DNA sequence: TGCTGATATGTCATCGATGACATATTGGTT
DNA sequence: AACCAATATGTCATCGATGACATATCAGCA
């Protein structure tokens, strides 16, 4: 409960000046053998712990990152990103401030202002809500990194190529022999930010589905495309949408032999629908998911497009540090890193029964 | 990119002293009508943002909490707690530093020291690894709150009554008419911290299972108790353990009509085992889980003991603030808050088929 | 002897905000 | 006229660490 010792206290105890204590602490400059010993023992005795607040003020650097998380309640994807970010920040001696934005542009703005006032050395936006807020941070001179999605290419970003991932998923199904492939996904319109913004994740996955079919010369059948209202709530609501989507597909006169769901929760709901219809996965119908949230790793195991979540966070941290002043060399140009996804083949996909 | 304006800059622009600017900023003391206007417009013009670092140094208060998370990779339980904590901290104008401990006592110590150096106003341990680290923080005079588990009762804590929760789960099964109830759970021995420490979560749930049976006058049958090695990894490994545990139970000559699993992932694996054995839940066998992670909310929906995760985080924040200096009144005594769990009855439990 | 460079240590302004204190100007009261 | 309280604003030490700079000592060398 005694207030913490300051440099001055240590200096007094050791009978030296504060400058000498600093020199011992950081092991630079000249310090006599005997003096060093006295200071060291004084440090021990007082239980001195550096005051990082004072240090930050003096050095004009807080060794702190701000992480704006667009949680949309519980999203394991983002939690994993946060972990990677924190891990990597630690490597650089930085700590991370968490700020849950909850899909609100207003809260996101508050978060940015908080971080500006706290003089964080960088800000990471995981799924930015409003591009204007990214701009706000950048204008304050703080290095900014966007994760998962970006509206424009003016700033650093760590992305996943959703299109490639989706195409690989489709090609996996093609390779197994599927031709009639259903789609269950979120409504892209709900996630469009502005007319000139880059396509949303939902849009990318849907368009990749269409492109894949076209590339295979398979005629598009809109009856196979189930666009569902929810996305990213990641609980029973979304599972229910996946369930409903699959139900629709199963009632088709000529039902699909495989279904591509744009996220694991939708896929999980879809699996249940198959099961409840008295059919079996993957014998009667294959299901493939996206994201590799651990919903995919439970039972039954789901084939899915795995995103390197941890690594995304790590790379985001790296980008921040590359752009911290003084900007390392040419680091004034925005860096855009795109990481590959990986197809995790589990038990929910197999060759179709020949008809 | 221009460095941020300071109070002095604003003062100069407005032609007043820094004291006056402070008064305008915090709206206290006397400020003339016309002066206020000049200052206000100077604030606007410079885009002034308070330097919280300097403020913290001066006020000897950082408005910052440290959150030590014993993640053990991805645990949605803790993520939800973190959210509640952050949310509530925000209400008090505080931001939260995240620190992932990854089950390492050494890393936990580093985290505590980091927070001491950063002079956080409080530290929350979610599932502390080593009680000594809690002590370390407390000795530095920082209010400490333990979440989920505590070794001794010397410090504040927010807990859930695992025993009551488990008993309610058992009583739910009894009420449905089950008598022969299996158990699948973690090995308590793996989670014992020290001889004199309070029982671990795993121990509490197991002993509640035994007590419930005894209270009903049902003879204990150790063949029904499946103690499995893993716990809290929350991925396919744990699901596999649940699967294996259920397999064992199903091969019993007289198999249980219901199974109590001490976490949802074990339960999820168990469900799969039932399914693969050609049996149906809940028709042939009931399964009940614990925690209400969203593994329970997918498909098929799982009856489970729901923990108020968000609220746990919120209460933890409250406790920190109650114990921040000056300690509010009698708040020098440790506060131990125990929150109730809630039985979330979903589709995985039903009356047994009469035999 | 006097000079140089290496070694050793102290002084102090600085980072930016705060608030106690001092000072100055009112209008109103006895 | 003298005084007081309310109003208005400025001065400056302080929080703690840092590092530029000044100073001091000493060994080695010309």
Quickly state the pLDDT bin for A1 (edges 50, 70, 90): very low
Strand partners, A260: A183, A288
Q: Give the nucleotide nearest to A28 (CA→C1').
A: D19
What local confidence, expressed as pLDDT, does residue B213 receive? 97
What local confidence, expressed as pLDDT, does residue B8 receive? 94
Q: Are residue A243 and residue A268 in the same domain, yes or no?
A: yes
What local confidence, expressed as pLDDT, does residue B1 receive? 43
What local confidence, expressed as pLDDT, does residue B330 receive? 44
Of B4, B62, B80, the CB nearest to A74: B80
CA-to-CA distance for A129 and A196, rounded, in angstroms? 15
CA-to-CA distance for A29 and B101, rounded, in angstroms? 35
Kindly report the pTM of this predicted structure: 0.91
Q: Are residue B220 and residue B298 in the same domain, yes or no?
A: yes
Q: Are residue B146 and residue B180 in the same domain, yes or no?
A: no
Name the E strands within chain B. 64-69, 95-100, 122-126, 144-147, 156-160, 181-186, 225-228, 258-261, 286-291, 303-306, 336-339, 342-344
Strand C positions within 7 A of protein Cβ atoms: 7-12, 14-21
Q: Are residue A75 and residue A142 in the same domain, yes or no?
A: yes
Predicted confidence (pLDDT) per residue in A15-28, tens digit: 999 999 999 999 98
Predicted confidence (pLDDT) per residue in A208-218, tens digit: 999 999 999 99
Which CATH number do you get for residue B13?
Answer: 1.10.260.40
What local confidence, expressed as pLDDT, does residue B40 receive? 95
pLDDT at A238 > cutoff 90 = no
What local confidence, expressed as pLDDT, does residue A193 receive? 61
Sign of CA dihedral A14, A19, A22, A23: negative
pLDDT at A335 > cutoff 60 = yes
Q: Are residue B300 and residue B180 in the same domain, yes or no?
A: yes
Cross-chain residue pair B74–A57, CB shorter than 8 Å = no
Q: Are residue B68 and residue B191 in the same domain, yes or no?
A: no
Taking only residues 218 to 247 of chain B, the set having a beta carbon closer than 8 angstroms to any beta carbon of chain A reads 234-236, 239, 243
* Chain B residue with Cα closest to A292: B235
What local confidence, expressed as pLDDT, does residue B299 receive? 59
Cis amide prior to B311 (ω within 30 degrees): no
Residue A270 lies in a domain: yes
HSE-CB at B120 with a 13 A cutoff on CA atoms is 31
Backbone angles phi and psi of A253, in degrees to 5: -55, -50
What local confidence, expressed as pLDDT, does residue B208 receive? 96
> What is the helix, strand, coil percentage profile of chain A, to 5?
45, 15, 40
Question: Which two three-digit tokens encode residue B102?
Answer: 């990854």
CA-to-CA distance for A256 and A182, rounded, in angstroms? 6
DSSP state of A232: S
pLDDT by residue for chain B (355 residues), tens digit each? 457 899 999 999 999 999 999 999 999 889 998 999 999 999 999 999 999 999 999 999 999 999 999 876 556 778 889 999 999 999 999 999 999 998 899 999 999 999 999 999 999 999 888 899 999 999 999 999 999 878 777 889 999 889 999 999 999 999 999 999 999 998 877 666 666 677 888 889 999 999 999 999 999 999 999 999 875 666 677 888 999 999 999 999 999 999 999 988 899 889 989 988 989 888 999 999 998 887 777 757 789 999 998 999 999 999 999 998 765 544 567 788 888 888 888 878 888 875 4
B55 contact to strand C (CB, 7 A limit)? yes
CA-to-CA distance for B117 and B109, rounded, in angstroms? 12
Q: Are B229 and B244 in contact (CB under 8 A)?
A: no
Q: Is B266 on the interface with A (CB under 8 A)?
A: no
* Interhelix angle A7-14/A18-26, nearest 10 degrees: 100
Give distance CA B121 / C1' D17 (Å).
20
Quickly state the pLDDT bin for A354 (edges 50, 70, 90): low
CA-to-CA distance for A154 and A138, rounded, in angstroms? 10
Predicted confidence (pLDDT) per residue in A285-306, tens digit: 999 999 887 777 775 778 999 9
Strands B156-160 and B336-339: parallel
Cis amide prior to A326 (ω within 30 degrees): yes
**Cα A176 to the chain's mean position, in Å?**
31
Mean pLDDT of the region A240-258: 94
A96 contact to strand C (CB, 7 A limit)? no
Domain that holds residue B283: 162-308
DSSP state of A191: G
Q: Are residue B201 and residue B299 in the same domain, yes or no?
A: yes
**Count of domains in chain B?**
3
Mean pLDDT of the region A120-148: 93
DSSP state of B191: G
Backbone angles phi and psi of A333, in degrees to 5: -75, 140
Sign of CA dihedral A15, A18, A22, A27: negative
Residue B286 lies in a domain: yes
Q: Are residue B136 and residue B27 in the same domain, yes or no?
A: no
3-class DSSP state of A34: helix
Residue B347 lies in a domain: no
Cross-chain residue pair B239–A299, CB shorter than 8 Å = yes
3-class DSSP state of A64: strand
Q: B138: which residues sit within 8 A by CB, 6+ positions away?
A: B144, B154, B155
Q: Are residue A319 and residue A298 in the same domain, yes or no?
A: no
Quickly state the pLDDT bin for A233 (edges 50, 70, 90): low
Choose from B43, B75, B118 for mutation: most chain A CBs within 10 A. Answer: B118
Quickly state the pLDDT bin for A232 (edges 50, 70, 90): low
Which CATH number do you get for residue B144?
Answer: 3.40.50.2300
Residue B354 lies in a domain: no
Q: Are residue A41 and residue A170 in the same domain, yes or no?
A: no
CA–CA min distance B343, chain A (Å):
17
Q: State the Cα angle at B144 between B307 and B331, rounded to 5°.
A: 95
On average, the pLDDT of chain A sits at: 88
- Per this entry, what is the length of chain A? 355
Cis amide prior to B326 (ω within 30 degrees): yes
CA-to-CA distance for A214 and A338, rounded, in angstroms? 25
Of residues B348, B275, B249, the one with CA closest to residue B305:
B348
Q: Are residue A89 and residue A156 in the same domain, yes or no?
A: yes
Q: Are residue A226 and residue A301 in the same domain, yes or no?
A: yes
Strand partners, A158: A147, A337
Residue B353 lies in a domain: no
Buried b (16+ CB within 10 A) or exposed e, A31-44: beeebbebbbebbe
Strand partners, A228: A186
Strand partners, B337: B158
């Amino acid at each position: 409960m005694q207030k913490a010792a300051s440099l001055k206290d240590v200096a007094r105890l050791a009978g030296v000046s504060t400058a000498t204590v600093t020199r011992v602490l950081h092991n630079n400059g000249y310090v006599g053998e005997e003096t060093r010993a006295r200071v060291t023992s004084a440090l021990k005795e007082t239980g001195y712990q550096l005051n990082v607040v004072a240090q930050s003020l003096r050095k004009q650097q807080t060794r702190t990152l701000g992480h704006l998380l667009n949680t949309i309640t519980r999203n394991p994807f983002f939690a994993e990103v946060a972990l990677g970010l924190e891990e990597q920040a630690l490597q650089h001696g930085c700590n991370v401030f968490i700020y849950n934005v909850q899909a609100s542009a207003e809260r996101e703005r508050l978060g940015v202002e908080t971080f500006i006032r706290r003089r964080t050395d960088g800000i990471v936006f995981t799924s930015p809500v409003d591009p204007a807020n990214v701009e706000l941070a950048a204008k304050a001179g703080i290095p900014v990194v966007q994760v998962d999605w970006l509206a424009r290419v003016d700033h650093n970003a760590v992305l996943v190529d959703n299109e490639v991932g989706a195409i690989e998923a489709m090609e996996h199904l093609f390779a197994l022999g599927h031709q009639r492939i259903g789609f269950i996904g979120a409504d892209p319109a709900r996630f469009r930010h502005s007319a000139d913004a880059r396509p949303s994740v939902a849009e990318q996955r849907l368009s990749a589905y269409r492109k894949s079919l076209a590339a295979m010369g398979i005629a598009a059948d809109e009856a196979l495309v189930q666009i569902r209202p929810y996305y990213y709530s990641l609980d029973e609501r979304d599972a229910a949408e996946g369930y409903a989507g699959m139900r629709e597909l199963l009632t088709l006169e000529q039902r699909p032999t495989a279904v591509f769901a744009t996220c694991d929760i939708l896929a999980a709901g879809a699996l249940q629908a198959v099961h409840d219809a008295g059919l079996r996965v993957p014998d009667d119908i294959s299901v493939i998911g996206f994201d590799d949230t651990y919903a995919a790793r439970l039972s039954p195991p789901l084939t899915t497009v795995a995103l390197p979540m941890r690594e995304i966070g790590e790379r985001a941290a790296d980008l921040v540090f590359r752009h911290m002043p003084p900007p390392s060399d040419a680091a004034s140009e925005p860096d855009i890193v795109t990481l590959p996804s990986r197809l995790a083949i589990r038990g929910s996909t197999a060759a179709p029964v020949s008809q």
